[in-house]
Structure 1
Amino acid sequence: MNPARLLRLGQRLRALGLPVVSPSYEALAREASDEVLVTTAEGRITFCSPTFSRRWGVDRWALVGGDAFSWTHPEDRERVRAAFAAVCRPGSESVDSEHRYVVRSTGEVRWCRVRFSDARRVPGVGGIVWNCQDVTEVHDTLDALRHAATHDPLTGLGNRRRLLEVMERSLTDGLDSALLLLNLDGLKTVNDRHGHAVGDLVVRAVAERLDALVGDRGWLGRLDGDEFAVLLRGQEGPLSRALADLAQRAVGVARRPVEVEGRAVAVTAAAGTALLPGGDAGADAVEAGRRLFRHADIALGAAKAAGGNRWVPFSRALLDAAHDRAELAADLRHAVATGGLHLALQPLVDLAAGRTVGFEALVRWQHPQRGNVPPSVFVEVAEESGTILDLGAFVLESALEALVELQRAAGRSGLEVSVNLSGHQLQQPGLVAAVVDALRRHGLAPGQLCLEVTESVAVADLATARNTLQELRSHGVRIALDDFGTGYSSLSYLRRLPVDVLKIDKSFVDDVSGERADATGAAVLSGIVALSSALGLVTVAEGIETEQSHEVVRGAGCTWGQGYLFARPLSPAQAAAHLAAEAQNPRYRSTTA
């Protein structure tokens, strides 16, 4: 520093009654990367480093004698004064503080990390040293990370974590709370058919509609790829009416088609709602929020189970049903692990030769308290609870083991067994390896196993289904498309999926026999068989129960058939007896229940 200027500074400080910083400290502060202030114990500035001056865009000499606290943000000033007072107490160590400053020249708010040190007894300093570091970029980065952790990047709405935070803060004011959960049905199909870019446009469009619908009445968030949430607050009566109105309208706006590149793309929605009276929140806001979410989720599950495109309010009956389902899921998990399930086999019959050529493997559950639990119930529970993979592994192993024993007992080779695949199994990365390993261990040819998938399962994730089924087929495993005609019924799927067998649903068989028989039904059946024949597929007619339907499907050219006319599902021992009796009498038909 110019000696004359330093002299004038010293004179000014002495005129103000303030200590003078030594030239050596001035030189040291000039080289420091930190911005440095020195103040009296009252906070009056006695020294300002050049770096401080440059950072804040002020004349460093103009600051001398000013109040250092006037730079701090008004909301942080009390906290800064407390830290400053702490370091001024005798024997205190340095104290750190992180707070906001206001840049007077621009009004910009920036963050500083300050270390206060008592240097009043240090020669040449004689005051409280403020070592300042600008950490605005650090705070901006942390804010961005916090925002990313609590917000959906596609729509900018809060996410599941943010919802829980909002509920935790808001459930302590005594007001009633209401939660709406809305799930978009068909979004995955949109992604598969039109691409994820189109799916994203649909999601954003629905988000904008919901945002306009909710407005400032509540909080709107996107919890998952196809799930939104709305949180409302208020008094129970009006809140209940507002929630019902919002749910009805939300389902309506979600199903309105979205225009994308000149084409209308549509999804539908299912919604579940729940109310939490303010008096029921209790002291634990976190648990209260989870309970509210759980109730709305149960209602959403009921809306989806009813076919979607509707909203369902939470009720005690739904909660009891959910508890019962949870108990059933626990019992099923135990049954799978302890051998509580048993295999049933239904014969597959060559309609031309009248001979059993294989079996479809089915699974049965005789619950110790509930009795017989239908597959339509426990398979769905298995999918919901995550037990479906273990259940599928049990059926595959049991079916292959039974096939080996049946061939040995009947003295036959080349019998086939069909096993159903669930959507969860189809998406399992190790499925192909597990199937190939099971066939190897049981000494069976891959062509003796046919894996069945329904149209809806295959189409739910068409790309994954096609790749997995193609890999299975490359190993020699046969693939069947089950319940054809009851799902999407798009002929393009027959071309795009690697299929060997087409199983014609029972409803088509019923349409060509009995009271429902008509010419249209016969024409549809003949058309399906002709199409299958042109594609080189084996056709299996399901649900053959009468001689009339047997004759019609055989006359239409169906390859194989199954149904109660030939045999009901059999135990492995009964299946062996069925093959033995058939060997003695080719026209034998088992009627064992």
Structure 2
Amino acid sequence: MANTSPPVSVKNDPEHADNDHVSSDPVDPDLGAPEASGPAVRFEPVLPLMLSALGLVAVVFVGGGPPALGLVLLTGLLGAAGFAGWQGTGALVTRALLLSAIAFTLPLLNVHLVSHVLQWWYAIIAVYPLLLPRRIAWWVTGCISAGLLTQYFTGTAIPHVTLSGWTLRTLLLAGIGLIVAYSGAAYRTARDEARRRQLAAEHAERELHHATTHDNLTGMPNRSSLDLFIDTALHARSGGDDDQVAVLIIDLDRFKNVNETLGHLAGDRLLREVAGRLASLLGPHQRAARLGGDEFAIVCAPTSPQRAQEMGHRLVQLFNQPVDLNGAPYRIGMSVGVAVSGAGIETRADLLRSADAAMYAAKRAGRGTAVLYHAAMSEEVAADLAVEQQLREAIEAGNVDGDHLRPGAVTAVFQPVVDLATGRVVGAEALARWQIDGRDVSPLRFVPLAEELGLGLDLALAVARQSVRALAAWRQAGLADVRSVAVNISARDLLTPSLPDELSRLVDDAGLEPGALTLEITERDVVDDVERTREALQHLRVKGITVAVDDFGTGFSSLAYLARLPLQVLKIDREFVANLDRDDTIARTVVQLATSFGMECVAEGIETPHQLTTLAGFGVQFGQGWHLGRPALAGNFVESVRALAARA
């Protein structure tokens, strides 16, 4: 199979343009054309040959001697030169004038040849103005007419013809020439216009074909072209181990992060860079295509399973080199699934389905790798797809108005946040929970899956919607001290422009004040893109929404950014709370930082009375953990809080 690189549109690449292209701008016949062409011009040399034959007969019967015979032979040579390739506007003009000169000279050699040569003048005037551009045709017509008129004064006109009669004959000849010149110009204009329309139609057809078979952004073949590649390769294979067809499906890892954090223009540049790198890697028996979004494919044929897997590993290595996006290096990660024909994989659909399954296996294996398909993968992929679909439905079911959620919906449970000084419950953290067939699915599994599917914001909004409704219900039930509910959100979703308005609308619809909702983001999310995070936090602050930094102390170099970001709460990570007996340095430091920056401090993971006493002694204001209260459904939260109050 021949090698291919991303094709270039004909309209953008002159080297691929049609060779006999005609400008779309109309040619002014008065200005002429750069070169005479066409079927009539190609057959024009027949005229000198015919005139040579007629002249030969005239010389034989009338006489004229060797000079006349030489001129007749020269006429034949002019025709032969035309057939030999002496063509174009200059050649036509020269031939017309030489033929006129021969017609003028022959009667000088024998006056009786004038009646025979007179037909030459009309033949010349009937042919050459037709083929030449209009102004040149006028000039040639004038020269021929002048030659005929001059013949009267040399005494070689037809006997007994007066000057007026010969002048009328000359005017008739000139009139014929002008009519022929105008007719030729009209003919060429119509011919050129027809040719332009034909070329335009052919060009449009090529462009349409290119558009339907190639990706507009990268110029690569698209899915329909890939199908043709695969079908052709499958049909051509012999069936040997080294004569198989391989399909590699490539999925860029975390491409959505580029679009959502750097913008779609950066995403487009990244896709074009991927297309260019793929083209540079292709060999003579490999074809590449873009399937859509951030998915690409390569067809290798003929090949073997070993060579196909090696190709997958080369792809991963090639894309380890970073790409410059918005002035910063970005490393392209990719997961590659490899499927090879044979062993039950015989059709295009089999190859694509198997390569897709292997690609999902590569993602499960940690991304940034190439995996060769085996039969068990199909069952794993089917199970994953089923879970993905159930998660979509669960998030959708959890993101509806109303007090009752249908079974299978993502549900929020609430862990109390306690004022360590008074023991009163003053808030709650909402945690997403999900069940499949009555069995709990770990948030460590379904939350990252939701992010990967682009459902992270929908999940956060579903939990936020349930949270503000629950808080409103608790206050009606008498829990006036519960001032806010915290919801976790990822950095990518935090940067969504519409987020502040959507959250503000949820709070308003629940009849709550703006500060009733708190967003929690991790420290690592804060330091990934400080400037854009700062802008997003300011928009949230304008809406009155509080922002807390979760898992504080686990990130990198974030202390320098605290003064720059509009944050209200620092949360001590549960890991540092659990290690208080061995090292309490970080916990003390976080408390001091929170105090210095005027922030509230919340400790997570308090599970023992000793931890509670120690943290309160450090000056931690609020805490949460199983010792203070376990997560409860919204309907059970009031009872749980009252039980905690009674215990205190």
Q: TM-score range by the shorter chain?
A: 0.5 to 0.7
CA distance in 1, matches of 2:40, 2:592: 97
Shift of 1:179: 2.8
Cα displacement string for residues 15-74 of structure 1 (whole angstroms, at most 9, x for unaligned residues): xxxxxxxxxxxxxxxxxx999xxxxxxxxxxxxxx89x948742764333899xxxxxxx
The reply to whether residue 571 of structure 1 matches residue 633 of structure 2 is: yes
Query: Which letter does structure 2 place at the counterpart of 1:231?
Result: V
The reply to whether residue 254 of structure 1 matches residue 233 of structure 2 is: no
The answer (yes or no) to whether the contact 1:509–1:542 under 8 Å persists in 2 is yes
The answer (yes or no) to whether the contact 2:247–2:351 under 8 Å persists in 1 is no
The SS at the match of 1:376 is helix
Matches within 5 A, 1:305-320: 306=366, 308-320=367-379
Partner residue of 1:523 out of 565, 572, 585: 585
Partner residue of 2:642 out of 575, 580, 588: 580
The answer (yes or no) to whether the contact 1:399–1:417 under 8 Å persists in 2 is yes
Cα displacement string for residues 113-169 of structure 1 (whole angstroms, at most 9, x for unaligned residues): xxxxxxxxxxx9xxxx98932244564566567657724756x65556654554455
Q: 1:409 to 1:485 in 2, by over 3 A?
A: same
Could you say which residue in structure 1 is the equivalent of 2:306? 241
Partner residue of 1:543 out of 605, 617, 632: 605
Query: Which letter does structure 2 place at the counterpart of 1:323?
Result: A
The reply to whether residue 353 of structure 1 matches residue 353 of structure 2 is: no
CA distance in 1, matches of 2:271, 2:600: 41
Q: How many residue pairs align between the two structures?
A: 470
Which is helix-richer, 1 or 2?
2
Partner residue of 2:245 out of 174, 177, 181: 177
Q: 1:55 to 1:423 in 2, by over 3 A?
A: farther
Shift of 1:447: 0.7
CA distance in 2, matches of 1:328, 1:59: 69
Matches within 5 A, 1:352-431: 352-367=421-436, 369-385=437-453, 388=456, 390-413=458-481, 415-422=483-490, 425-426=493-494, 430-431=498-499
Cα displacement string for residues 473-510 of structure 1 (whole angstroms, at most 9, x for unaligned residues): 21111112323344566446545554322233222323
Partner residue of 1:480 out of 548, 569, 572: 548
Which structure 2 segments of 5+ residues have no match? 1-24, 47-84, 89-182, 184-189, 238-242, 398-404
CA distance in 2, matches of 1:282, 1:394: 45
Q: 1:272 to 1:150 in 2, by over 3 A?
A: same
The answer (yes or no) to whether the contact 1:181–1:228 under 8 Å persists in 2 is yes
Q: 1:424 to 1:253 in 2, by over 3 A?
A: closer
Q: 1:253 to 1:393 in 2, by over 3 A?
A: closer
The SS at the match of 1:352 is coil
Could you say which residue in structure 2 is the equivalent of 1:121? none
CA distance in 1, matches of 2:553, 2:250: 30
Could you say which residue in structure 2 is the equivalent of 1:16? none
The reply to whether residue 272 of structure 1 matches residue 329 of structure 2 is: no
Shift of 1:533: 3.2
Could you say which residue in structure 1 is the equivalent of 2:91? none
Shift of 1:452: 1.9
The reply to whether residue 560 of structure 1 matches residue 628 of structure 2 is: no
Which is strand-richer, 1 or 2?
1
The answer (yes or no) to whether the contact 1:383–1:424 under 8 Å persists in 2 is no
CA distance in 1, matches of 2:330, 2:457: 32
Cα displacement string for residues 333-361 of structure 1 (whole angstroms, at most 9, x for unaligned residues): 44453522443110112233333210111
Query: Which letter does structure 1 place at the counterpart of 2:627?
Result: L
The answer (yes or no) to whether the contact 2:552–2:573 under 8 Å persists in 1 is yes
The SS at the match of 2:477 is helix
The answer (yes or no) to whether the contact 1:257–1:267 under 8 Å persists in 2 is yes
Q: 1:424 to 1:269 in 2, by over 3 A?
A: closer
- TM-score when scaled to structure 2? 0.60
The reply to whether residue 506 of structure 1 matches residue 571 of structure 2 is: no
For the aligned residue pairs, the C-alpha RMSD in angstroms reads: 4.7
CA distance in 2, matches of 1:430, 1:138: 46
Could you say which residue in structure 2 is the equivalent of 1:5? none
CA distance in 2, matches of 1:471, 1:325: 37
Could you say which residue in structure 2 is the equivalent of 1:115? none
Q: 1:267 to 1:185 in 2, by over 3 A?
A: farther
The SS at the match of 2:310 is helix
Matches within 5 A, 1:194-233: 210-221=278-289, 228-233=296-301
The reply to whether residue 450 of structure 1 matches residue 509 of structure 2 is: no
Q: 1:504 to 1:207 in 2, by over 3 A?
A: farther
The answer (yes or no) to whether the contact 1:187–1:267 under 8 Å persists in 2 is no
CA distance in 1, matches of 2:337, 2:293: 19
Query: Which letter does structure 2 place at the counterpart of 1:482?
Result: D
Shift of 1:319: 2.5
CA distance in 2, matches of 1:289, 1:428: 38
Matches within 5 A, 1:83-94: none
The answer (yes or no) to whether the contact 1:182–1:269 under 8 Å persists in 2 is no
State the identity as a percent: 31
CA distance in 1, matches of 2:459, 2:373: 31
- TM-score when scaled to structure 1? 0.65
Could you say which residue in structure 1 is the equivalent of 2:41? 62
The reply to whether residue 298 of structure 1 matches residue 365 of structure 2 is: no
Query: Which letter does structure 2 place at the counterpart of 1:242?
Result: R
Q: 1:180 to 1:535 in 2, by over 3 A?
A: farther
Query: Which letter does structure 1 place at the counterpart of 2:336?
Result: G
Could you say which residue in structure 1 is the equivalent of 2:387? 328
Rg bigger for which structure?
2
Which structure 1 segments of 5+ residues have no match? 1-32, 36-49, 68-102, 107-123, 588-593
